[in-house]
């Protein structure tokens, strides 16, 4: 019987309110934009929170409505207001990520306007990764080609499954055949970096259904994919429709079997883990955005509800669309929390776990020996292997990666938790 210190699997590593204890003070955002950037390889995140249909399992920050026709103007106004600041003029950008919602729900002419504005306003690296999330129904191959002409070079397609039964269950538009054919059309555009999401551990899932999805992913030879275990949200439409099935997250053995099946099958096909929810074919999908977010780079947030960091200041744009529109007239007129250096150090060290390895020496000096002891225990229990000074997550460690991250944060916040790290 495998030794296991966790009785439930955490699906995120968000600190929530505990983060407040690391706030060192408040700062005028305009003063932060007045400073020259002191980090390389930064990112821009653009949030487009509109969806033409709400999926039954979804818990994202989005609205059920066509994209607001003024939304592109808001984002462009936001860019115009910050583009001449010392920070933006010295901030080199390695990755741009359009997330949602469904970014491609925006008209193609507006997406092109934003892409062109980004190129003329920011120091984008010549090979800057520019990613857009999409559903299959909101992006035709013709629209994709136009976006590629304006610089889009990475696509993240939210497919979830190729099974018609499950696509209906999850409220996805189009059946399984449509999903396969649409992916082939994307590949035929010549875009090499196409990633997709696959969901597992949904109500009633059989191993045959999982193997069916795996088989199609292999045939399509996509550059990479993200794998998500279904999070049963109490208030989701799915839980209302299938209350009897909402204990799926209690069966960790089943969830682990499904996870191991995906990891094992795809590894045999040449995929490797790049991040705890992401497998890629090496050299074909470097996913620079997630690396920037987990290695302490700055992220300039654009769009309603987008969050990021500017010169140590934690920035969150207004979530409400109208309020965001107002905000873009003067987007630097805002007080933002500035995190303590201690937080930045811990956050960088813990975040490295998302990228599969951790080094005790990266934590604050007075915690290093506790960290070494913890990671040695975790090696004995099968969560890590040690290579040099780094501790690398095993598949078991990847499966429980968010639990380990939360344990680390609990150590530093002193938070009592039933899953608390052994100190
Ligand atoms: S398309 Fe994506 S963001 Fe929109 S409802 Fe579906 S899962 Fe949520």
Residue nearest atom 3 in ligand 1 by C-alpha distance = 101
Residues 347 and 265 in one domain: no
Measured in whole angstroms, the distance separating CA 347 from the mean position of its chain's CA atoms is: 16
Q: What is the pLDDT of residues 267-318, one digit of tens each?
A: 999 999 999 999 999 999 999 999 999 999 999 999 999 999 999 999 999 9
Distances, alpha carbon 62 to alpha carbons 43, 51, 101, 305, in Å: 22, 7, 5, 9
Q: What is the pLDDT of residues 349-369, one digit of tens each?
A: 999 999 999 999 999 999 999
Of 257, 277, 293, the residue that ends a domain is 293
Residues 387 and 256 in one domain: no
pLDDT above 90 coverage of the chain, percent: 81
Domain harbouring 224, CATH code = 3.80.30.20
Total number of domains in the chain: 2
Query: pLDDT confidence of 421, banded at 50, 70, 90?
Result: very low
Residues 277 and 358 in one domain: no
Pocket-forming residues, ligand 1, beta carbon under 6 Å: 51, 54-55, 58, 60, 62, 100-102, 135, 158
Residue of 47, 49, 58, 169 with the most ligand 1 atoms within 8 Å of its CB, for mutation: 58
- Domain annotation covers residue 401: yes
Domain harbouring 375, CATH code = 1.10.10
Q: Lowest mean pLDDT of 30-39, 171-180, 235-244, 370-379, name the range.
A: 235-244
Of 293, 324, 351, the residue that ends a domain is 293
C-alpha 100 – ligand 1 centre gap (Å): 8
- Domain annotation covers residue 182: yes
Ligand 1 atom nearest 51 alpha carbon = 4
- Domain annotation covers residue 326: no
C-alpha 241 – ligand 1 centre gap (Å): 17
What average pLDDT score do residues 107-129 get?
97
Q: What is the pLDDT of residues 371-420, one digit of tens each?
A: 999 999 999 999 999 999 999 999 999 999 999 999 999 999 886 554 44
- Domain annotation covers residue 1: no
Ligand 1 atom nearest 160 alpha carbon = 7
Q: How many Cα atoms within 13 Å fall on the side-chain side of residue 28?
A: 6
Which residue from 290, 272, 337, 291 is spatially nearest to 22, judged by alpha carbons? 337
Per the structure, the complete domain to which residue 139 belongs is given by: 16-293
Q: What is the pLDDT of residues 175-211, one digit of tens each?
A: 999 999 999 999 999 999 999 999 999 888 999 999 9
- Domain annotation covers residue 314: no
Distances, alpha carbon 299 to alpha carbons 17, 169, 252, 309, in Å: 21, 35, 35, 5
Q: How far apart are CA 137 and CA 182, in angstroms?
A: 9
C-alpha 53 – ligand 1 centre gap (Å): 7
- Domain annotation covers residue 329: no
pLDDT at 230: 84
Ligand 1 atom nearest 57 alpha carbon = 7
pLDDT reading at 248 higher than 70: no
Residues 161 and 279 in one domain: yes
Residues 41 and 132 in one domain: yes
What ipTM was assigned to the predicted interfaces of this complex? Answer: 0.97
Residues 262 and 351 in one domain: no
- Domain annotation covers residue 325: no
Residues 360 and 274 in one domain: no
């Amino acid at each position: 019987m495998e030794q296991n210190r966790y009785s439930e699997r955490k699906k995120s590593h968000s600190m929530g309110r505990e983060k407040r204890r690391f706030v060192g003070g408040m700062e005028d955002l305009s003063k932060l934009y007045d400073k020259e950037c002191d980090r390389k390889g930064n990112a821009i995140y653009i949030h487009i929170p509109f969806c033409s249909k709400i999926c039954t399992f979804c818990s994202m920050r989005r609205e059920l409505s066509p994209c607001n026709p003024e939304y592109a103007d808001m984002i462009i106004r936001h860019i115009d207001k910050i583009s001449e600041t010392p920070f933006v003029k010295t901030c080199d950008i390695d990755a741009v990520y359009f997330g949602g919602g469904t970014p491609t729900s925006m008209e193609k002419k507006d997406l092109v306007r934003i892409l062109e504005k980004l190129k003329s306003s920011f120091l984008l690296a010549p090979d800057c990764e520019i990613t857009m999330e999409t559903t299959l129904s909101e992006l035709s191959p013709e629209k994709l080609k136009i976006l590629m002409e304006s610089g889009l070079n990475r696509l993240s397609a939210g497919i979830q499954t190729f099974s018609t039964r499950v696509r209906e269950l999850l409220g996805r538009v189009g059946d399984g055949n449509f999903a396969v054919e649409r992916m082939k059309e994307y590949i035929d555009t010549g875009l090499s970096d196409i990633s997709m999401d696959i969901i597992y551990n949904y109500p009633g899932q059989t191993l045959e259904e999982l193997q069916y999805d795996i088989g199609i992913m292999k045939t399509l030879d996509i550059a990479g994919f993200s794998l998500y275990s279904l999070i049963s949200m109490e208030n989701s439409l799915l839980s209302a429709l299938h209350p009897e099935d909402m204990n799926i997250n209690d069966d960790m053995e089943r969830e682990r079997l499904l996870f191991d099946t995906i990891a094992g099958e795809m590894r045999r096909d040449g995929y490797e883990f790049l991040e705890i929810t992401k497998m890629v074919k090496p050299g074909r999908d470097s996913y620079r955005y997630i690396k920037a977010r987990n290695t302490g780079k700055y992220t300039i947030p654009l769009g309603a509800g987008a969050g990021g960091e500017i010169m140590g200041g934690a920035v969150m744009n207004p979530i409400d669309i109208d309020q965001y529109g107002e905000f873009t007239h003067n987007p630097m007129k805002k007080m933002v929390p500035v995190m303590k250096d201690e937080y930045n150090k811990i956050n960088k060290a813990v975040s490295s776990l998302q990228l599969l390895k951790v080094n005790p020496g990266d934590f604050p000096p007075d915690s290093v020996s506790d960290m070494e002891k913890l990671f040695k225990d975790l090696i004995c229990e099968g969560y890590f292997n040690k290579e040099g000074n780094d501790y690398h997550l095993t598949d078991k460690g990847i499966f429980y990666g968010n639990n380990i991250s939360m344990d680390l944060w609990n150590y530093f916040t002193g938070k009592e938790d039933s899953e608390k790290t052994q100190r």
